[in-house]
Amino acid sequence: MKNIWLIAWKDLKGYFVTPIGYLVLTVFTVLMSWMFFSSVSNVLMSQQYGRPAPGDLSVVMQPVLGNMAVIFLLMGSLLTMRLIAEERKMHTLELIFTSPLRPIEIVFGKYLAALLFYGVMLAITLIYPLILKSVGTIHLSQVFAGYLGVFLLGASFLSLGLFISALTENQITAAAVTFGLFLFFWIIAWITGPSDSVAGKLISYVSIIDHLSNFIRGLIDTQDVIYYLSFIFFGLFLTTQAVESQRWR
């Protein structure tokens, strides 16, 4: 476990050695702040047109959390593109293999670094429900469920991105392929047939966004949690196998 933390700390600091970390945090925060205040403005405008104000301001966070997932779809590949691809390009992966580190420790350490950085991104946005709490009523349990869903979705994307980073030496290629796969798992539900058909149900289950909707509504469904955890497990498993294959080349 100590080795995992050492690798995670090294790569976490690496986000702030280059402009990538600061760029991702700044763009993410600016976009999310704009979307939050837009959501609040929509509620205020509805009151001006005579519509009653929502008794529970948690509804303000629903579109914000949905948009948060969309933004991470666009930016998530930036967090994983360099983690292993850069090690391969600089030939430092071979040096790591000469140490007592096991491939699974390397993978988990790098994944933990990306996950911690993603946690920082989400933590910054916690100010939004706190603002709503200070001016009205908000069900924190519903907001927590939404954040849990967004966190699991992001964690799933990061495991996939790490796998792609392990397959190439080029960071741009890793980012492009990762984004393409992110988009595939996002829009696959759009091509589904009748929802009551076997194919429709299967595609709906594979679609990563369909499992987020319940979380955003405040519902934590075991099936959705299992889906995301399974996605993460297979992503890390494939990454470990890819790193292991590099070790014996």
- pLDDT band at 52; cut points 50, 70, 90: very low
pLDDT in tens, 86-123: 877 777 776 676 777 788 888 999 999 999 999 999 99
117's CB contacts (< 8 A; 6+ apart) are: 12, 15, 21, 24, 79
Using an 8 Å Cβ cutoff, are 230 and 164 in contact?
A: no
Using an 8 Å Cβ cutoff, are 27 and 75 in contact?
A: yes
Q: Which of 115-119, 135-139, 160-164, 238-242 has the lowest mean pLDDT?
A: 135-139
Residue 114: per-residue pLDDT: 94
Using an 8 Å Cβ cutoff, are 81 and 178 in contact?
A: yes
Domain range for residue 168? 2-247
- 44-58, 59-73, 108-122, 183-197: which is most confident: 108-122
- 51-55, 108-112, 186-190: which is most confident: 108-112
Number of domains in the chain: 1
Using an 8 Å Cβ cutoff, are 207 and 195 in contact?
A: no
- 49-53, 74-78, 175-179: which is most confident: 175-179
The C-alpha atoms of residue 165 and residue 182 are separated, in whole angstroms, by: 14
Tally of CA atoms within 13 A in the half-sphere of 227 that contains its CB:
22
Tally of CA atoms within 13 A in the half-sphere of 211 that contains its CB:
29
